[in-house]
């Protein structure tokens, strides 16, 4: 299987760069950036066919903006690296979040929201 997807139009062998989907309830055709993976009810289109695309009569065609930068910039990578370093750094006061201790304050399906108990303070010795 080829990692490059080709245009869905018959006899077109150009590389796909856009994905076309339909929202039947709203009578809308949506043309956006190429989807991460091929879906059965979507159409991948090359640049030429996407430019000539028209919606059926009575339908609206929505063209989503396409980002021209396909690779992360150096700023994005540096911000990600800084966030990872910050998360790995120990807390400034030496305390760490207790693991496995907390009070359940909410639940949604199989997920639980836990709130940590405040650290118990030791009474001052005189």
With a cut of 80, say whether residue 74 has pLDDT above it.
Answer: no
Determine contact, residues 53/61, Cβ cutoff 8 Å: yes
Model confidence band, residue 7 (pLDDT cutoffs 50, 70, 90): very high
What average pLDDT does range 97-107 have in this prediction? 69
**How far apart are alpha carbons 65 and 30 in whole angstroms?**
11
Residue 85: per-residue pLDDT: 78
* 94 vs 66, residue with greater confidence: 66
Percent of the chain with pLDDT over 90: 37
Tell me the pLDDT band of 66, cut-offs 50, 70 and 90.
confident
- Please enumerate in sequence order all residues whose Cβ is within 8 A of that of 12, keeping only pairs 6 or more positions apart, or say none: 6, 46, 49
Q: Would you say residue 42 has pLDDT above 70?
A: yes
pLDDT at 22 over 70: yes
Per-residue confidence (pLDDT) for residue 53, from 0 to 100: 94
């Amino acid at each position: 299987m080829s990692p490059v997807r080709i245009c869905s139009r018959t006899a077109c062998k150009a590389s796909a760069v856009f994905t076309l989907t339909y929202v039947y309830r709203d009578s809308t055709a949506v043309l956006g950036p190429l989807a991460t993976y091929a879906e059965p009810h979507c159409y991948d289109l090359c640049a030429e066919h996407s430019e000539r695309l028209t919606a059926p009569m009575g339908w609206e065609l929505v063209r989503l903006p396409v980002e021209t930068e396909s690779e992360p910039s150096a700023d994005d990578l540096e911000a990600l690296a800084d966030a990872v370093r910050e998360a790995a750094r120990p807390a400034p006061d030496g305390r760490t979040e207790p693991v496995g201790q907390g009070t359940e304050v909410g639940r949604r399906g199989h997920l639980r929201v836990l709130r940590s108990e405040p650290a118990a303070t030791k009474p001052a010795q005189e």
